[in-house]
């Protein structure tokens, strides 16, 4: 989920860089890039070689996985090269913004499905799965929301929105991010819930209500709880993982129709670190509830890495491969989705730009839609994953 405020809390994966010599060592020292000896990788000797030219979706499918990416309708409709790249590499398409309240509801009594319908048609035309993001979130609400929605009418708007949107795409969606980012322990609410208009107006049961409404309107879709900042091993992340797990346990114990956890995975290359054992344990705990797991918004910020693109690309690729090697160990993980496919179209250009003005390079394809080492890293991770 892209927004600037959450990135400061996303102290996500970096599995370590050491053994860098010559120019790389100088660049690293100059930029004070952290070194993590206990989980070091030598980026000079890691070759990122892959066998063949099979696209990412094919490599994923061979292991029983789904691979795809998010894209904005404006970008996709106007960029034929992006279209070709999405069709070649992706088995599932996710609208970046088009199904969020802010863009879907220009007025309280009006829904505008024109852009989301275009994306749904694009997915059908190219025999791709389609994914809904997101029905309930505390951000990116329309400007009219604060003036119109209150404690007296919030449930009416809530029910109307979820029912209308899910019914429109009933039978077309692989999965829905029904509720997004409902946990924030630092907010001091009971059960670690995040302060939000929905919690204020409807109380904590708004989460369960959302899933029951979605399931009633679209019984064939996989219903997902999507959350950020679950990957790292800092105190805040551990507290958040515990709160998320308890939320999932509560929902399951009440018979709530929830099928999967979405782990956003907005990773930050210069920060860390990952505790692979703890992350695997968390994934196993989620799977033990009978839930599937999706990696829903994967990218790797290179905001504070050295300027040299070759250095950055090696570090970013290492993060991709190392992270995926951990999460794909868990057979409940069924999908990996990038938040964007090409560096030409990435939210990180706006929300976490580099101070030196250099273009960011967080995605598998570069700004010319050529595969980077990050593509190789993902391909290698899929090739080495256990078959589902």
Write out pLDDT tens, residues 127-176.
Answer: 999 999 999 999 999 999 999 999 999 999 999 999 999 999 999 999 99
Percent of the chain with pLDDT over 90: 86
Distance between the two ends of the chain, CA-based, in angstroms? 27
pLDDT at 271: 66
- Gap between the Cα atoms of 137 and 324, Å rounded: 27
pLDDT at 272: 62
pLDDT at 274: 83
Range name among 11-15, 213-217, 241-245, 298-302 with the lowest pLDDT average: 11-15
Segment 63-76 shows an average pLDDT of: 98
Supply the pTM of this predicted model: 0.90
Task: Please say if 237 is a catalytic residue.
Answer: no
Percent of the chain with pLDDT over 70: 88
Tokens of 321: 């491969």
Q: Per residue in 288-334, pLDDT tens?
A: 999 999 999 999 999 999 999 999 999 999 999 999 999 999 999 99
DSSP run (H or E) holding 239:
helix 235-253
Catalytic site residue from 96, 98, 181, 231: 181
Q: Per residue in 169-197, pLDDT tens?
A: 999 999 999 999 999 999 999 999 999 99
- Asked whether the predicted pLDDT for residue 14 surpasses 80, the reply is no
- Asked whether the predicted pLDDT for residue 281 surpasses 70, the reply is yes
Q: 81: which residues sit within 8 A by CB, 6+ positions away?
A: 369
Instruction: State the fold for domain 4-384.
Output: TIM Barrel (3.20.20)
pLDDT-based confidence at residue 113 (cuts at 50, 70, 90): very high
Q: 53: which residues sit within 8 A by CB, 6+ positions away?
A: none
List Cα–Cα distances, 300 to 13, 46, 296, in angstroms. 9, 18, 13
- Asked whether the predicted pLDDT for residue 1 surpasses 90, the reply is no
pLDDT at 270: 78
Strand partners for 18: 42
Segment 13-20 shows an average pLDDT of: 33
- Asked whether the predicted pLDDT for residue 367 surpasses 90, the reply is yes
Segment 1-24 shows an average pLDDT of: 37
Tokens of 268: 């930050």
pLDDT at 45: 75
Range name among 14-23, 42-51, 74-83, 176-185 with the lowest pLDDT average: 14-23
Domain ranges (residues) in the chain: 4-384
Q: Looking at the chain, how many residues does it have?
A: 388
Tokens of 42: 């030598």
- Asked whether the predicted pLDDT for residue 27 surpasses 90, the reply is no
- Asked whether the predicted pLDDT for residue 258 surpasses 70, the reply is yes
- Gap between the Cα atoms of 325 and 381, Å rounded: 6
- Asked whether the predicted pLDDT for residue 38 surpasses 60, the reply is no
Catalytic site residue from 227, 237, 297, 321: 297
Task: Please say if 181 is a catalytic residue.
Answer: yes
- Gap between the Cα atoms of 64 and 315, Å rounded: 28
Place of tokens 């980077």: 372
Output 242-246 pairs: Cβ under 8 A, ≥24 positions apart: 242/192, 243/183, 243/185, 243/191, 243/192, 244/183, 245/282, 245/285, 245/286, 246/191, 246/192
Tokens of 312: 């950055």
- Gap between the Cα atoms of 250 and 269, Å rounded: 34
Segment 341-352 shows an average pLDDT of: 97
pLDDT at 8: 38
Strand partners for 337: 68
pLDDT at 29: 35
- Mean pLDDT for the chain? 90
């Amino acid at each position: 989920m892209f927004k600037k405020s959450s990135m400061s809390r996303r102290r996500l994966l970096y599995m370590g860089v050491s053994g860098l010599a010559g120019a790389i060592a100088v660049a690293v020292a100059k930029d004070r890039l952290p070194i993590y000896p206990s989980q070091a990788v030598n980026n000079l000797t890691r070759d990122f070689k892959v066998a063949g030219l099979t696209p990412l979706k094919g490599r994923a499918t061979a292991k029983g996985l789904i691979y795809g990416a998010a894209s904005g309708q404006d970008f996709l409709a106007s960029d034929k090269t992006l279209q070709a790249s999405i069709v070649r590499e992706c088995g599932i398409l996710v609208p970046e913004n088009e199904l969020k309240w802010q863009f879907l509801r220009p007025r309280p009594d009006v829904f505008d499905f024109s852009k989301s319908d275009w994306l749904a048609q694009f997915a059908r035309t190219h025999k791709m799965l389609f994914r809904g993001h997101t029905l309930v979130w505390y951000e990116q609400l329309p400007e009219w929301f604060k003036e119109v929605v209150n404690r007296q009418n919030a449930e009416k708007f809530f029910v109307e929105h979820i029912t209308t949107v899910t019914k429109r795409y009933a039978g077309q969606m692989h999965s829905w991010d029904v509720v997004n980012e409902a946990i924030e322990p630092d907010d001091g609410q009971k059960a670690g819930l995040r302060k939000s208009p929905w919690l204020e107006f409807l109380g904590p049961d708004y989460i369960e209500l959302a899933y029951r409404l979605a399931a009633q309107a679209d019984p064939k879709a996989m219903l997902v709880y999507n959350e950020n900042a679950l990957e790292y091993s800092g105190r805040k992340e551990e507290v958040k993982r515990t709160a998320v797990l308890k939320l999932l346990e509560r929902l399951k114990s009440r018979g709530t129709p929830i099928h999967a956890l979405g782990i956003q995975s907005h990773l930050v290359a210069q920060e860390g670190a990952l505790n692979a054992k703890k992350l695997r344990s968390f994934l196993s705990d989620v799977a033990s509830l009978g839930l599937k797991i999706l990696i829903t918004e994967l990218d790797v910020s290179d905001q504070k890495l050295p300027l040299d693109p070759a250095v950055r690309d090696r570090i970013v690729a290492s993060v991709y491969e190392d992270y995926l090697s951990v999460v794909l160990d868990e057979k409940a993980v069924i999908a990996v989705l990038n938040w964007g496919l090409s560096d030409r179209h990435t939210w990180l250009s706006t929300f976490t730009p580099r101070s030196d003005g250099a273009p960011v390079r967080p995605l598998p394809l570069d700004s010319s839609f050529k595969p980077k080492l990050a593509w190789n890293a993902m391909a290698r991770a899929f090739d080495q994953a256990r078959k589902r």
